[in-house]
A = this chain, B = another copy of it.
Amino acid sequence: MDTVGELVPPARILLGPGPSCVHPRVLKALATPLVGHLDPEFVRLMEETKTLLRFVFQTNNTLTLPISGTGSAGMETCLVNLLEPGDEVVVGVNGVFGTRMVDIVERCGGQPVIIEAPWGNVFTPDQIQAALTRCRRPKVVALVHAETSTGAWQPLQDIAPVVHNAGAVLLVDAVTSLAGCPLEVDAWGIDVCYSGTQKCLSCPPGLAPITLNHAALDLIRKRKTKVHSWYLDLTMIEKYWGEERVYHHTAPISMNYALREALRLVQEEGLEARFRRHQRNHLALAAGLTALGIPLAAQEGHRLWMLNSVRIPEGVDDARVRRQLLEQYNIEIGAGLGPLRGKVWRIGLMGESSTRSNVLLLLSALEDILRMEGYRCTPGAGVAAAQAVYAGT
């Protein structure tokens, strides 16, 4: 067989839907020699990580830890532990990830009660209330906070009372939102929440932070059937990450080193400052794109700071533009998914990737490449509009 050569990947600027750029300190943590997963030093690290995760989730939940899989494993963990056959789950479907939740609910034997919104739009408490009245005995309401496939930002502050009045728990997908915009698990009454590491935490993909409160844990403890998944069974994972330290699987040591360092960086910056940074760079990018005649695609007033879904201009070749950005500028942006394929680009400004330099470089590079595509716009208009936003803030 042929010899596989040394690993020499290109130096990309990651402005897609994730992974985002990773801070050198996190890369250094990854390269740290390993201790065993039952080593007292690793046990200490597990405690520190749980504490830091509670901080970013803004929760006091005891059961707050990283699942040993990617964000989708976090989604599956939450659903597979909560659901038993026949359980009703109201799922908000307005993009890829709501659709995915329905799929998982069905695999768990649950009964999805689907509410739909156009891709790019969000749900109102009234819509959720209406869905709940259609249920006999709803167990879970599942919503996506930041729909990575559309750039839509679901408001969550007024949802929990509606859900709790119906006797259900609120489950939130915060894969893309965590550490990039406000998310207050306890204050907003979120019962179950999961995320991923490769978005606004700017850690490589591979872990899925989750948090569950007592109401959610009670549902798990009252199960009549075993959880379908052994690997994701929280009753065992809880003991592995808890004081008992009962062996379950072998935690991904290096990824946990990385997550701990990424969380330290979040703590050093401060949540509020980090949110403002994400907001400012989003506003600058949006102004720049608008000046180039490229409109944002998500519902006005509900546009994410960290994931900008933008309409591909008429007559412009989607794949060619993305390839040129990659080949000439080493910049990755994301393609549209599902019904938005070929219609939108997804520009991520997540975590370490959310910088003024990246915004200006992307606007400049995009203008250059669009012009090669025959697209007309005022030279320098994008960059000028973005700089005006920075000057004003």
Chain A interface residues toward B at CB < 8 A = 1-4, 7, 9-12, 14, 16, 18-19, 21-22, 27-42, 45, 48, 51-52, 55, 68-73, 76, 80, 100, 103-104, 106-108, 196, 198, 204-206, 226-232, 247-255, 257-258, 260-261, 263-264, 267, 326, 332, 337
Given contacts A71-B249, A106-B226, A229-B229, contact A36 B7 (CB under 8 A): no
> Looking at the complex, which one of B4, B38, B52, B196 makes contact with A4 (CB distance below 8 Å)?
B52
CB <8 Å contact, A69 and B68: yes
Complex contacts, A2 vs chain B, CB 8 Å: 51
CB <8 Å contact, B31 and A28: yes
Mostly helix, strand, loop or mixed at chain A's interface? loop
Complex contacts, A257 vs chain B, CB 8 Å: 7, 9
CB <8 Å contact, A255 and B258: no
Complex contacts, A326 vs chain B, CB 8 Å: 39-40
CB <8 Å contact, B12 and A231: no
CB <8 Å contact, A73 and B249: yes
Closest residue of chain B to A31 (Cβ to Cβ) is: B31
CB <8 Å contact, B7 and A229: no
Closest residue of chain B to A28 (Cβ to Cβ) is: B31
Complex contacts, A263 vs chain B, CB 8 Å: 4
Given contacts A51-B4, A205-B253, contact A37 B11 (CB under 8 A): no
CB <8 Å contact, B4 and A33: no
CB <8 Å contact, B264 and A231: no
CB <8 Å contact, B337 and A250: no
Closest residue of chain B to A103 (Cβ to Cβ) is: B230
CB <8 Å contact, B52 and A37: no
CB <8 Å contact, B250 and A196: yes
CB <8 Å contact, A30 and B254: yes
Complex contacts, A337 vs chain B, CB 8 Å: 247
CB <8 Å contact, B249 and A72: yes
Q: List 29 A-B contacts (CB under 8 A).
A: A1-B55, A4-B264, A7-B261, A9-B39, A9-B45, A12-B39, A16-B36, A19-B250, A21-B33, A22-B33, A22-B34, A27-B31, A34-B204, A68-B206, A69-B69, A69-B73, A72-B231, A72-B248, A72-B249, A73-B249, A76-B230, A103-B230, A107-B230, A204-B255, A205-B253, A206-B254, A228-B229, A229-B229, A254-B258
Extra contacts, 20 of them, besides A4-B51, A12-B33 (Cβ < 8 A), are A4-B48, A4-B264, A7-B29, A9-B33, A9-B42, A12-B34, A12-B35, A14-B34, A21-B33, A21-B34, A39-B332, A69-B73, A69-B231, A72-B231, A72-B250, A204-B252, A204-B255, A205-B251, A206-B254, A228-B229
Complex contacts, A80 vs chain B, CB 8 Å: 229
CB <8 Å contact, B11 and A34: no
CB <8 Å contact, B253 and A255: no
CB <8 Å contact, A71 and B3: no
Closest 3 CB pairs of A and B: A206-B252, A31-B31, A204-B254
Q: How far is the CB of A191 from chain B (nearest CB, A)?
A: 21
Complex contacts, A18 vs chain B, CB 8 Å: 250
> Looking at the complex, which one of B3, B19, B76 makes contact with A34 (CB distance below 8 Å)?
B19
Q: How far is the CB of A203 from chain B (nearest CB, A)?
A: 9
Q: How far is the CB of A104 from chain B (nearest CB, A)?
A: 5
CB <8 Å contact, A31 and B33: no
Complex contacts, A251 vs chain B, CB 8 Å: 70, 205
Closest residue of chain B to A54 (Cβ to Cβ) is: B1
CB <8 Å contact, A1 and B51: yes
Q: How far is the CB of A333 from chain B (nearest CB, A)?
A: 9
Complex contacts, A227 vs chain B, CB 8 Å: 107
Give the docked Cα–Cα distance between A14 and B260 (Å). Answer: 22
Complex contacts, A14 vs chain B, CB 8 Å: 34-36
